[in-house]
Chain A
Amino acid sequence: MLTLTCPCCGVTAEETEFHAGGEAHLTRYGPGSDDTEFEGYLFMRENPKGVHFERWRHVYGCGKWFQVARCTVTLELFGAYPAQTTRPPQALQDTITAKRPGWSWNDIA
């Protein structure tokens, strides 16, 4: 039972108040993309042992989507940030580096 804090409304609540929405920072590929690009967008997902970026929605609260950086091994939360960005904020990346030197995720860090 994770405890998450919604960066939109500021409420700290149990996992059951939220809904997990899968991997963050996917790039959408639409008509005109080739099969490999579209397959990657539709199906291929990171499955890291360690630092992960994922989407959550505060479904029984303010209703807003946001993004979370989390360790899949220890369930440590590094931080949450708004959904309206294509990359994790630099400050958050620095926080993660301090705690997990040498981390990388997809094409980040």
Chain B
Amino acid sequence: MSTRLATGGRLINTDAPMRFTFNGKVMKGYAGDTLASALLANDQMLVGRSFKYHRPRGIVASGVEEPNALVNLGVEGKFEPNQRATTTELFDGLLATSQNHWPSLEFDVGALNARLSRFMPAGFYYKMFIHPRPLWKHVYEPFIRQAAGLGQAPKGRDADSYEHFYAFCDVLVVGAGIAGLMAAKSAADAGARVLSLEQAPQGGGRAPVDGGQVDGVPVDKVVDQLVSELTEMPNVTLRLRTMGAGVYDHGYVLGYERLTDHAPDQPGPRHRLWRIKAGQVITATGAIERPLSFAGNDVPGVMLASAVRDYIVNYGVSPGDRVAVVTNNDDAYRTAIAVKKAGLDVPVILDARVLPEDSPLMAEARAAGIRVMMGHGVASVMGGKRVTGIGVCAQAGEGAVLEEIGCDVVAMSGGWSPVVHLWSHCGGKLQWDSDYAMFRPDVHKAPVGGDGAAFVRTAGAANGHFGLHEIVGDGHACGGLAAKATGHTPRKTDAPQGDSPSEAPLAQVWIMPQGAGKTLRAKAWLDYQNDVKVSDVQLAAQEGFESVEHAKRYTTLGMATDQGKLSNINGLAILSDALDQPIPQTGTTTFRPPYTPISMGAIAGEARGAVFQPIRRTPMHDWHEANGADWEPVGAWRRPYAYVRQGESVHDAVMRETRNTRENLGLLDASTLGKLLVKGPDAGRFLDMLYTNMMSTLKPGKCRYGLMCGENGFLIDDGVVARIDEDTWLCHTTTGGADSIHQHMEEWLQTEWWDWQVYVANLTEQYAQVAVVGPNARAALEALGGMDVSRDALGFMEWADGTLGGFDARVYRISFSGELSYEVAVRASQGQAFWDALMAVGDSLGVMPYGTEALHILRAEKGFIMIGDETDGTVIPQDLGLHWALSKKKDDYLGKRAHVRSHMADPDRWKLVGLETLDGSTLPDGAYAVADGTNANGQRNVQGRVTSSYHSPNLGKGIAMGLVHHGPDRMGEVIEFPGTDGKTYQARIVSPVFYDAAGEKQDV
């Protein structure tokens, strides 16, 4: 059993006991524990079930690489699935539950899958669920969705807050193990601004556990000294609990700080995303131990040798009473020695190597009385939910059991892999080191920055150094070089001298025993979480998935939440062997950020709720809000869709507003429409290029409706242009187009016609603009008093400056409704007062404000197009019957050349028509008109689609516009529109102008 030792535990404080709950059971731990160490101290080795076969899973590791110990944490607004117990710091009252089992962790029905495992090899889902096709949607997909994922997705709103934080430094050091601390110190001593990040709650990394001396001082003391020195230095920031998540172009790095995960009652944000711009980045990210691939290596109790050592030394926890060690290298002997020192039993060290003589660590183990069997390995593991013993075999053989040895923990070590993730994120290349059987950074192929020089360096174990002497020297030198690269002068000090025992070389062992047959290989796990075994990777290779990226996706190797931190190298070694090619030729899968999962909350930061995106408000916004506005988002603006009165539905309000505007008087807040002032000696010439119609000939005081196309001929915007004076035009754009058309104009002026003298100013927010619409519009303005707005003084499509009710106003006599209509612009600061004045004088004239939906119905009744409804980026003016707006006098304008391309000039294009249902119902917006026959994909042919559709209260029926094949030539013809509601709508092709075709109402 696993238990708390009476002594030891350098990270825990036994004076601060804590209570926590796992699967409803109250347990005890100490401050400084991780959830994993506390669970082990309470004899809880079984912590979860694997994904595919629901096999029992125990704690394997002690750090971020843990694939098994994933738990649900917290409840309701603080619930979070898939949290690694090994990196979760214990706090008083922590609530955790295990995942992926039913009804309980100990007894799980899903474990039946394990019995079927031989029928569920790699690619099972692909092979099984493809036929018959129709079953996919209703049977297979719901089944797979149910089975997918480990934890449950949180349902409630996240109760915590998050933030982003920007930081700048000369040298960023990721990892505060001994190498990172050395690097930070030497960079800081040179005067560089240093930011040092460490994912753990304390610095030092593995060094204090592994031991050794630096300049004669024990390494844990050296770590304490360095941490305290760096904390004191004004040019150094050291952040613990902060992971370097990703390295990006030109020295951009994301850090992920966990501020209150360990202290949930502490105020402030929970996570902080650091957005760092670094001159130089040092990855001192250490290394991760590899498992060995032997049959039964997934039974709870089989752990990484380094993790066994960590639990004993750091937390005073014994993972088991009898620890069998199996290894291909010297490092695991440290574990055997640590176990022995803790007073526990090591029945055997199985060393796959055969060496001519003992290394110092091996000699020390033997001297401690430990039995060492060279050239041996594990043939089998006994036990189900916990290891009870191992069968020993010769590594060189096929797995015949020579001896059974009782034990409750198997500490395995297959060598170490440098953490090269951050090095690789931004293009750093790797090289294969066959001595250590690992990929290490190729320092000659580092990621480069904007100046073409390397900006990422790597130090210590992350750089493939494993002796304390090399690690310390590498860190010291790397810090100095990084400081130098950012313009600082490193001090000429000698590197501190590290001292640790020399080690015998490791042997490459990818399968144990070497001649393991089919049965053993099918029980040798590579990926514990996703249940990928040696036999699965071999099958993938056999079935032709030879690329490592293909094999990964076919087998799901390395696709679990640990992203292959334990399994990748072992898996690609197996793949290389199956393909009979060297490992470097197989290569690695791509390392992508983040290094370990980071919270969605941290990515969002403060950008949630009201601050997700700022809302643009017109000067009359608050009035609309107070008067029943049902808001519609239009770009970043909010516009009233309708003003809903008490006891009225939104639809009722729209109908009322639409009728009233035709019968009496309507007011529309048109302030959001773009207002671009274009001025200068070449302004007319410029606008002639931008609009399809002629703007240079417009007389001052007049308005003209204009169309804009892009260079590819498609419509991009429309609006009324007013000529203000000889060299000034005011261009109205759509609400959504104000900013983009302004930028469009700037682009052409700056990059193509830069010698033209034109200035463009976006005045959109400088004016409040009100459309005063309806038969009583003139009476309303006359009631305000001031300028002459009579038909003779201000004709249709004219504008004038003057005063109205004491307000300075610019009045445009334009109409988007077909009614008598004025658009009045006043200073933005006067907008609300002017609106109030209009409402007051309108009281006796039947005034009602109207919203965007009434605006749409009014324009649709008149057959006026709307950018974004009738256009979608594939529509040209000719499609919409707007030939009259295409100037024939101009040699050139944007889109003119494109309009003569063969497809644009094709008479077979769909063209704008009106559509009227036979029964008066409203056509579904976006519905397609079907034609005879089917296309090459067996789909029904189509001959048109609905672009706008409304119920018109003024006409008492549904009206629509649409683009129809040869539409204008087919007036009166009835075509069919199947709706998604199962109904087929029959509609007659008619003129798009449904109301006042002669245009008499607007010109009075």
Contact = CB atoms under 8 A, between A and B. Distances in A.
Interface of A: 1-3, 14-15, 21, 28-33, 35, 38, 42, 55, 57, 59, 63-65, 71, 74-77, 83-84, 99
5 contacts: A3-B252, A28-B752, A42-B712, A42-B898, A64-B750
A7 to B, nearest CB: 13
B451 A76 contact: yes
B892 A76 contact: no
B277 A55 contact: no
B891 interface: yes
Nearest to B426: A75
Nearest to A71: B452
B710 to A, nearest CB: 10
B130 to A, nearest CB: 36
B213 to A, nearest CB: 42
A84 B250 contact: no
Contacts of B448: 74-76
A38 B901 contact: yes
B751 interface: yes
B371 interface: no
Given A1-B248, A83-B754, A63 B450 contact: no
A74 to B, nearest CB: 5
Nearest to A33: B897
Nearest to B252: A1
Contacts of A2: 249-250, 450
Contacts, number: 69
Interface in B416-452: 427, 448-452
B276 to A, nearest CB: 10
B711 A42 contact: yes
A77 B898 contact: no
Contacts of B250: 1-3, 75
Given A55-B751, A83-B750, A83-B751, 5 more contacts: A2-B450, A64-B750, A74-B427, A75-B448, A75-B449
B897 A31 contact: yes
Contacts of A31: 891-892, 896-897, 900
Interface in B710-757: 711-712, 743, 746-747, 750-752, 754
Nearest to A64: B750
Given A30-B896, A33-B897, A75-B250, A3 B711 contact: no
Contacts of B891: 31
Given A30-B892, A30-B897, A31-B896, A84 B251 contact: no
A44 B665 CA distance: 53
Interface string B395-429: 00000000000000000000000000000000100
Contacts of A59: 743
Contacts of B451: 76-77
A38 B746 contact: no
A1 B249 contact: yes
Nearest to A77: B450
Contacts of B754: 83-84
B162 to A, nearest CB: 19
A63 B896 CA distance: 28
B175 to A, nearest CB: 21
B904 to A, nearest CB: 11
Nearest to A63: B746
A33 B711 CA distance: 13
A77 B251 CA distance: 14
A73 to B, nearest CB: 9
A3 B277 contact: yes
The 3 A-B pairs at the shortest CB distance, nearest first, are namely A1-B252, A76-B452, A84-B754
Contacts of A83: 750-751, 754
A76 B450 contact: yes
Contact of B452 (A14, A28, A42, A99): A99
Nearest to B448: A74
Contacts of B901: 35, 38
Contacts of A14: 252, 277
A70 B325 CA distance: 54
Contacts of B898: 38, 42
A3 B120 CA distance: 50
Given A1-B248, A31-B892, A75-B249, A65 B750 contact: yes
Interface in B240-278: 248-252, 277
B251, B450, B451, B747: most-surrounded residue (chain A CB, <10 A): B450
A33 B277 CA distance: 48
A76 B453 CA distance: 8
Contacts of B751: 55, 65, 83-84
Nearest to A99: B452
Contacts of B427: 74
Given A74-B448, A77-B450, A29 B897 contact: yes
A99 to B, nearest CB: 7
A84 B748 CA distance: 11
A61 to B, nearest CB: 13
B659 to A, nearest CB: 44
Contacts of A30: 892, 896-897
A97 B945 CA distance: 55
A14 B427 CA distance: 19
B750 A3 contact: no
A77 B451 CA distance: 6
B917 to A, nearest CB: 40
A2 B752 CA distance: 26
Interface in B868-925: 891-892, 896-898, 900-901
